[in-house]
Amino acid sequence: MIQNIRAIYFLFLLMFLFSCKSEVEKMAEHTTARNALIDSTISNFQKKLLKQQIDSVFSKYDFNGSVSVLKNGEVLYQKENGFENFKQKKNLDRNSVFAIASVSKQFTAVLILLQEDLGKISINDKVSKYLTEFQPKEFENITIKELLNHTSGISDFGHGLLSKPGEKFNYSNKGYFLLGKIIEKVSGKSYDENLQELFEKVGMKNSFTANTYQGKNLASAFVGNSKNFTEVENMPKRLAHESISVPAGGILSSVNDLHQWNSSLYQGKILKPESLKKLLEKSSDRNHPILGKMGYGFGIMMNVGKPLAYFHTGYVKGAPSLLIYYPESETSAIILSNIANELTGKNAIFNPHKEVKKITDVIQQTVSELRKEMVKPIL
């Protein structure tokens, strides 16, 4: 009799647990479906806002270039306007290859950290350990880290220091040129070879250095405007000259490849977690001449307030660029151009880029707060 009662009790217990499990599963399925609907609604909302507001930027400035916003691989906004080449009147498209100028610096920083991952260097090493030109007393204590975050004090003009190493931020293209030399020294390969391996690892098929460009679809750089323009001579070879240098500003890439880069980098597919943290951690402060106050990591800038955004501007003659990533929503935003009216000054040259960033910043923060409210459980 007791055995029968135990059997019945055990049967009811199993039925109860099965019933509970089913309810839990149903709730999970309901939550998943609800969140998917919320995400879809928010994406549609973003698409409409981005189209309305960024289209107005194109119209306002007659912007010649490409603007693209992707979230988890989904296109939220994509538009190209104008020409790859004003002389040939060839239209821009998603495969157009632009000079990305100082956006190149984050690639150099990643190559340095990859060498550290391999145990070949430490970012706290003194540069004098690798480069003889740093052995004079004035330079002997400068570290690789100080080159990475622009606190070395090295001047782009002249041979002295602008400040004591580690004391304050002084933006230095020369510092990144020297980082390129360190990469070559410790890897035993040219900077171009190291970068090509990185491109292949990430799957960037339309990206090159100034030395290796052999592709098509070059968005040749111009100064002036669409009616009165002059082509910048010797592009892209001129970017390899030491006054610019490939490690500091001599990479060329496309919208699609830069989205691939953002996705791979920030989702931890290139660097070890601790190395990625070093890259993105604010280690100096910058007062940007165009975008204002911000934090600086290694070849990466970040917003001081909300939303959290990692970005970098770039400018070489005729080619302003801006690359942004919002990690909270895994959203990548890219603004590239291949013409600049230098008579108006750099601030005006970057007006379209500034306005697009302001738009994407505001929308990112708005939808982040909106989603938090929408996914709250209904009591």
The count of domains in the chain is 1
C-alpha span between 239 and 97 (Å, rounded): 14
Within a domain: residue 32?
A: no
pLDDT value at residue 147: 98
pLDDT per position as a tens digit, 195-212: 999 999 999 999 999 999
Evaluate if residue 24 carries a pLDDT over 80.
no
d(CA 297, CA 278): 7
Please give the structure tokens belonging to residue 88: 């040939």
- Write the CA distances from 78 to 47, 267, 325, 331, integer angstroms: 10, 22, 16, 13
Q: Classify residue 197: in a domain, yes or no.
A: yes
Residue 33 identity? A
Q: Is residue 1 over pLDDT 80?
A: no
Residue 358 pLDDT? 97
Residue 19 has a pLDDT of 58
Phi, psi for 81 (deg, rounded to 5): -140, 135
Q: Does a structural domain hold residue 207?
A: yes
What is the SS3 assignment for 136? coil
Task: Tell me what pLDDT residue 336 has.
Answer: 98
The per-residue pLDDT for 226 is: 87
Question: How confident is the model over 335-371, as pLDDT tens digits?
Answer: 999 999 999 998 999 999 999 999 999 999 998 887 7
Instruction: Encode pLDDT of 32-86 as tens digits.
Output: 666 566 667 888 889 999 999 999 999 999 999 999 999 998 999 999 999 999 9
| 255-280 pLDDT per residue, tens | 999 999 999 999 999 999 999 999 99
Grade residue 144 by pLDDT with cuts at 50, 70 and 90: very high
Which own/partner contact pairs does 141-146 have at CB distance under 8 Å and 24+ positions apart?
141/165, 144/112, 144/179, 144/182, 145/283, 145/298
User: Residue 135 belongs to a domain with what CATH number?
Assistant: 3.40.710.10
Q: Which helix (H) or strand (E) holds 310?
A: strand 310-316
Predicted confidence at residue 180, as pLDDT, reads 98
Is residue 204 a part of any domain in this protein?
yes
The reported pLDDT for the residue numbered 47 is 93
- Do the domain assignments include residue 71? yes
Tokens representing residue 151 in the block:
């606190």
* Structural domain range at position 273: 47-86+95-374
| pLDDT mean across residues, the chain | 91
> Is position 5 within any domain?
no
Domain for residue 270, yes or no?
yes
Residues forming beta bridges with residue 161, ordered by sequence position: 154
Give the pLDDT of residue 13: 47
Each residue's pLDDT tens digit, 164-198: 999 999 999 999 999 999 999 999 999 999 999 99
In a domain, 308, yes or no: yes
